């Protein structure tokens, strides 16, 4: 509120200093037009970003921010864009600005959490994710709990990570990514039967992929079910011969010879 009052005060003082150039109605109309232009450029930036045209997305987003530098959504979009461009310091500055302009938007908090956890800033990322998850109006709190769990796992706190993944599944029992994370958590704890159960639930919703097949290989090896482990291994090598998980499998097989 104090910032708003200061802005108004500056505007009023400017008008008093130059009455001939400060018509109230014209100022409102001009601001309205700039706001509409900023919104249009923001939408164009988002469209170009989705199309993968990052140069045009950057151009339109910079124009939007010039026209309305206090739009939190534009700053959050800039965070996403500069993250994709590899300009991480600039991305973080825009996320910080977005949060400072609107600390009640759960989408901004959740996107910021993803960015922070990827940058290894797990504690702050977890807090941002929980701010999103705790918003009673947020439509996808399970995604925020998932991100909080990923942050906790990155900080090597597996019990807390498990707590968040289970919260995500409480909100949405068929949340496939949380099921996969729980399979991994159980595998790490050598709880092979629960790990198998979570993986089977995952495969009931999602097509097997390199990550899930590699999990299956290790879970079944842990259970001593070499036939099932071999089936997962064959599918991984046949369907995804160039995947990183396949390379790990081949290295494991070489070590066991």
Domains and CATH numbers, the chain: 174-257 (1.25.40.10)
- Walking along the chain (257 residues) 10 residues at a time, the average pLDDT comes out as 34 30 43 82 94 96 94 96 97 97 96 97 98 96 98 97 98 97 97 98 97 98 97 97 96 86
199 touches 183 (CB < 8 A): yes
Residue 31 pLDDT:
64
175: left (phi over 0), alpha (psi -120 to 50) or beta: beta
98 touches 110 (CB < 8 A): no
Residue 30 pLDDT:
63
First-to-last C-alpha distance (Å) of the chain: 69
For 119-174, where are the alpha helices, taking DSSP H only?
Answer: 122-133, 141-154, 158-171
Residue 256 pLDDT:
82
The alpha carbon of residue 247 and the mean position of all alpha carbons in its chain are separated, in whole angstroms, by 27
Give this prediction's pTM: 0.82
Residue 257 pLDDT:
75
Residue 8 pLDDT:
32
- Interatomic CA distance for residues 105 and 132, integer angstroms: 8
Residue 25 pLDDT:
39
- Interatomic CA distance for residues 234 and 192, integer angstroms: 20
Q: Any residues with CB less than 8 A from the CB of 212 and at least 6 apart, and which?
A: 180, 183, 199, 202, 203, 206
202 touches 183 (CB < 8 A): yes
6 touches 14 (CB < 8 A): no
């Amino acid at each position: 509120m104090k910032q708003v009052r200061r802005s108004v005060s500056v505007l009023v003082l400017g008008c008093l200093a130059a009455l001939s150039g400060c018509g109230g109605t014209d100022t409102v109309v001009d601001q309205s037009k700039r706001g509409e232009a900023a919104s249009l450029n923001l939408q164009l930036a988002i469209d170009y970003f989705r199309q993968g045209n990052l140069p045009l997305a950057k151009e339109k987003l910079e124009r939007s921010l010039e026209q309305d530098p206090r739009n939190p959504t534009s700053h959050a979009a800039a965070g996403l864009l500069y993250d994709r461009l590899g300009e991480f310091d600039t991305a973080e500055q825009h996320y910080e600005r977005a949060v400072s302009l609107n600390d009640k938007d759960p989408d901004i908090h959740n996107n910021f959490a993803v960015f922070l956890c990827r940058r290894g800033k797990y504690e702050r990322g977890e807090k941002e994710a929980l701010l999103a998850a705790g918003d009673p109006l947020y439509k996808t709190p399970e995604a925020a709990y998932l991100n909080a769990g990923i942050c906790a796992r990155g900080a090597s706190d597996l019990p807390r990570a498990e707590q968040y993944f289970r919260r995500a599944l409480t909100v949405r029992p068929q949340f496939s990514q949380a099921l996969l994370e729980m399979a991994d958590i159980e595998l790490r704890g050598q709880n092979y039967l629960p790990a198998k159960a979570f993986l089977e639930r995952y495969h009931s919703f999602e097509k097997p992929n390199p990550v899930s097949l590699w999990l299956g290989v290790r879970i079944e090896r842990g259970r001593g079910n070499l036939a099932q482990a071999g089936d997962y291994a064959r599918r991984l090598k046949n369907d995804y011969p160039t995947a990183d998980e396949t390379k790990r499998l081949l290295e494991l097989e070489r070590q066991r010879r």
